[in-house]
Amino acid sequence: MIKRLFDLVAALAGLLVLAPLLAVIAICIRLDSPGPAWFRQQRVGRHGAPFDIIKFRTMRVDQGGGPQLTVGADARITRVGTFLRHYKLDELPQLINVVLGSMSLVGPRPEVPRYVACYPPEVRAIVLSVAPGITDWASICYKDENAILGRSADPERAYLDTILPAKLAYNVRYVHERGFWTDLRIIFSTLAALAR
């Protein structure tokens, strides 16, 4: 209850304070390339319930679909999208997900169903027992994930064999250690990483 109250108050305050910035970003996206300012994608939430994650659109509208992993200097990423991804500004609309209750400020990052299907059953049960979050220890440690995958001959295999297991280990650790002070540590560590 305390976590949910903190999430709600912080997310609403964040949306209020950041409203001018969010409006400017949305306008820049629309001017930079055709398509909507928002991007929605189905992710797996608490107890396996699907939900639509909300982000700023950073890629050109692709009618034919494409890889679900973004690797290195992906040609689909727009000029504005490159800037937004570098500073993680594309994640800000997820504050709306927090207000709606489908996400928390802190928790395991939600994955697409394709990769959740690769979780070991016992790990899946632990990781999906809590609400997914905007940030977590794995997000901080793998903030350059796209660049790392870009250096691999088979990015998806590298993700499944190396990065995903490491992320899941961080997620299990979070579930076991979670608490208000742990969440604050992760939030401040995230802000510090962005500042650097």
For residue range 12-51, list pLDDT tens digits in order. 999 999 999 999 999 999 999 999 999 999 999 999 999 9
| pLDDT score recorded for residue 150 | 77
Q: Which phi and psi (to 5°) does residue 133 adopt?
A: -125, 170
The model's pTM:
0.89
Whole-number Å distance between alpha carbons of 26 and 11: 19
| pLDDT score recorded for residue 73 | 65
| pLDDT score recorded for residue 13 | 97
Alpha-helical regions (H) of 39-195:
79-86, 94-100, 113-116, 121-127, 137-141, 145-150, 155-158, 164-177, 180-195
Cβ atoms 11, 98 nearer than 8 A: yes
| pLDDT score recorded for residue 148 | 79
Amino acid at site 116: V
Number of structural domains (the chain) is: 1
Distances (CA, A) of 80 to 19, 83, 151, 161: 18, 5, 23, 31
Regions of the chain where pLDDT drops below 70: 62-73
| pLDDT score recorded for residue 144 | 77
Cβ atoms 109, 133 nearer than 8 A: yes
| Token pair belonging to 82 | 């490159």
| Token pair belonging to 72 | 């290195």
| pLDDT score recorded for residue 68 | 63
> Domain range spanning residue 191?
2-195
